[in-house]
Amino acid sequence: MNNTLMHCLYVSRALVPADAAEAASIYGSARQRNPQLDVTGYLHREGPYFAQYIEGPGYAIEQLVPLIRDDPRHDRFRILSHGEAETRVFGSWHMAFTDEGMNPYATFAAGSARPTNIAMARAEDLEAFFRASADIIEAENWGGPGPRDEKVMSVRQ
């Protein structure tokens, strides 16, 4: 069994509306399965795109990636980076979840050489975005009690 810490970063095109019901349904699966698999990560929705970073033991990532890839709620699933990871980026979140209203990738990329359209982002762009987002969600404690719960649904470990 591969217990080495691995990660996977992908972008896909959403086929479902960006509403609370869809978010809650995806979040429900992540809340159930990710703790069992010792998986942590961050899912971001921006316009019609999803971008997700998942990390955990190799056997868990190998199980979870095909499950997510084959989900009919999205298509054009493109893995941007995949492989061993030195440390967890989202160690205290089984799946943090934001949208462009909370934490826009386009704003992160603006004023830099990075493409501002998330569909054009390279692995290095999204990895930088996810690392910056990890600091923000920790600092702001998104997912904690309060009105943000409706928009940002996160499961702390």
Ligand X SMILES: Cc1cc2nc3c(=O)[nH]c(=O)nc-3n(C[C@H](O)[C@H](O)[C@H](O)COP(=O)(O)O)c2cc1C
> In this complex, which beta carbon is closest to ligand X, that of residue 52 or of residue 103?
52
Residue 146 vs residues 19, 63, 141, 143: alpha-carbon distances, Å: 19, 34, 10, 8
In the complex with ligand X, the residue whose CB is nearer, 29 or 112, is 29
* Comparison of 30 and 109: residue with beta carbon closer to ligand X: 30
**Nearest to ligand X of 49, 108 (CB atom):** 49
CB of 111 to ligand X, least distance (A): 28
Q: How far is the CB of 112 from ligand X (least distance, A)?
A: 26
Q: How far is the CB of 28 from ligand X (least distance, A)?
A: 7
CB of 121 to ligand X, least distance (A): 16
Six-digit token pair at 91? 């160690």
Q: Is the dihedral of CA 33, 78, 12, 75 positive or negative?
A: negative
Q: Give residues in contact with ligand X (CB under 6 A).
A: 26, 29-30, 33-34, 43, 50, 52, 54, 64, 67-68, 71, 73-74, 95
Instruction: Compute the least distance from the CB of residue 76 to ligand X, in Å.
Output: 12
Cβ distance 9 to 135 under 8 Å?
A: no
Nearer to ligand X, 32 or 112 (CB): 32
Query: How far apart are the C-alpha atoms of 48 and 45, rounded to whole Å?
Result: 7
SS (H, E, C) 71-137: CCCEEEEEEEEEEECCCCCCCCEEEEEEECCCCCHHHHHCCCCCCCCHHHCCHHHHHHHHHHHHHHH
